Each structure stands twice: as C-alpha cells, then as structure tokens.
Amino acid sequence: MAFRVAAVIWTAIALAVIAIVHFSLAPQFDLVQTRLEGGFVATVGQLFRLEAISSAVLAVLILVRPRRWSALVVAVASVVALTLTVASTVTTIELPFGLPTIPVGPWLQLRVVTAAAETLAVVGSITIASRRRPK
C-alpha cells in the first residue's frame, strides 16, 4: 500500500514538473506558427500550453482518483509525450491537420528534465495500474 501511495505522489510531482517546464517555455515558441483553415493561427507555444494544462489536469486526476483507468490514461499520455520529446531531438515532427511543425532541438537541460519526468510518470502510472487499490 505504501509503495502505491508513493507512486501516486511521484507521478503527480512528475506531471507537475512537466506542466511547469512547458508553461515556462511556451512564450519562446509562440514565434513558430502556421495558419490553419479559416485564418486561425496555431503556434508551438499554444501546443506547449495545451501540454502543460493536460499535465496539470492529469496530476490532479491521479491524486484524486488513483485508479487503474486513470493510471492508464496517464501512462498513454506520458508515453506519447516522451516519444515526441525524444523524436524532436532527432528530426522535425510534422503534425497532422496543418498544425505547426515541432522543430528539432538539442538535449538541453529542460528537455532532459522533461524526458526524466515523463519517464517517471510512465513508471509511476504503470505501478499504480498494476497494484491493487486498498479496500
């Protein structure tokens, strides 16, 4: 039981770190943009803010409802985020629906921090999903 509680806490902290990093980086990525149909302009900064908000929501969700289904949602979201983080160090990522392209970037400190937090969120959420909930 104590290990499951620890997994919930470290997963929530990891998701909070991801949210903080993405919120802090969003303004610098507002210049990378594309124009969608209807004249709407989408920026990578907006995508970063969306990632930050979703990480914050998932952190609250896993704290409030540490169930198997919520842990699996966190695991899937974290695997996707980790894949995008690692892939964007190697190649430019072309997003569907005309969304802005995520540019290639080196392994800088905040990218390493984010990748580590995403890895902790994956491990923590899998731990939560695999352990029985206390009665």
**Two tokens, residue 135:** 């009665």
With respect to residue 44, please indicate whether it lies within any of the assigned structural domains.
Answer: yes
Residues 6+ apart with CB under 8 A from 104: 88, 89, 90, 91, 92
The pLDDT tens digits for 43-84 are 888 989 999 999 999 999 999 999 999 999 999 999 999 988
For residue 54, being part of any structural domain is answered with yes
Supply the pLDDT for residue 126. Answer: 95
Average pLDDT for the chain: 88
pTM for the model: 0.88
For the record, the structure tokens of 28 come out as: 């610098």
Confirm whether 135 is domain-assigned: no
Does some domain include residue 120? Answer: yes
Question: How many separate domains does the chain show?
Answer: 1
How does DSSP classify residue 81?
H
pLDDT per residue as tens digits for the range 6-49? 999 999 999 999 999 999 999 988 887 787 777 778 888 898 99
Token digits of residue 2: 């104590």
pLDDT at 17: 97
The pLDDT of residue 127 is 94
Eight-class DSSP state of 42: E
- At 107, is the pLDDT very low, low, confident or very high (cuts 50, 70, 90)? low
Whether 45 maps to a domain, the answer reads yes
Segment 96-106, tens digit of pLDDT? 777 777 777 76
Q: Tell whether 60 is covered by a domain.
A: yes
Domain containing 45: what range? 2-130
Q: Has residue 71 been placed in a domain?
A: yes
